[in-house]
Amino acid sequence: MPQFYYVFFIFFPTLAALIAVYFHRGKTFYSFSKIDSQTLSGGAQAAKFILDSEHLFDVRIERLDRGTHSRYSLQKKTVMLSPFDYDSRSFTAIGRAQHEAGHALQHMEGSVVLFLKSLLWPWLRPCGTLSLGLLPLSLMRSWRGLYAWGAIFFTGYMFFAFLIFSLEVNASRQVNAKLVELQVLPPQELRLVEKVLEAAALGCLVGLFSPLEKLRIRHATQS
């Protein structure tokens, strides 16, 4: 029974690891959202600093509506920030805003993986989320036909997620290197931003839980 071995020895262990990453990332963001920078006035200024350091004056910074994720748009050449990331002085907002600005640096360099992410990620993430239901159901005799689709969706998602993970890590490292080079932050603040940048790079790995993340953001904005 191939699906038994795949589900119990690949799917469930991988899912458990991703859940641990999801909660670690959320804990990091929550902890550093309570600590404000004394140097930068908010995420928008922090992102602008990174862009200006590379003379990317044609890249815009836009404030999004409530309940939306920060992201970088290749088509619009725009760093699109959630209200919290745009306005807040917290290190969570600053780190996430600068991480998205790091994608603008990759765009300037002509990163192929960044273009692949823009093209394929909106389709693969929902497929990965769908596999969370298809694979467990395939263990039931009457639902065995779902196994092939679940395995394809989950495997495809994980393969592409690890490819994108290298892109996300590179974006955070570029930003951190730029902050070290320009010495815009005192050492203690630089260490805090570095922690958030590391957590921001984990976003692609936990994209499976995007519906849960949307509910969390909606609840936070309504509170």
Q: What is the pLDDT of residues 167-214, one digit of tens each?
A: 999 999 999 999 999 888 999 999 999 999 999 999 999 988 876 666
Q: What is the pTM of this model?
A: 0.92
CA distance 114 to 186: 31
N-terminal to C-terminal alpha carbon distance within the chain: 48
Whole-angstrom distance, CA of residue 190 vs CA of residue 198: 12
Distance CA(129)–CA(69), nearest Å, equals 17
Q: 63: which strand partners?
A: 81
Show me where the domains of the chain are located.
2-222
Question: Which one-letter DSSP state was computed for residue 185?
Answer: S
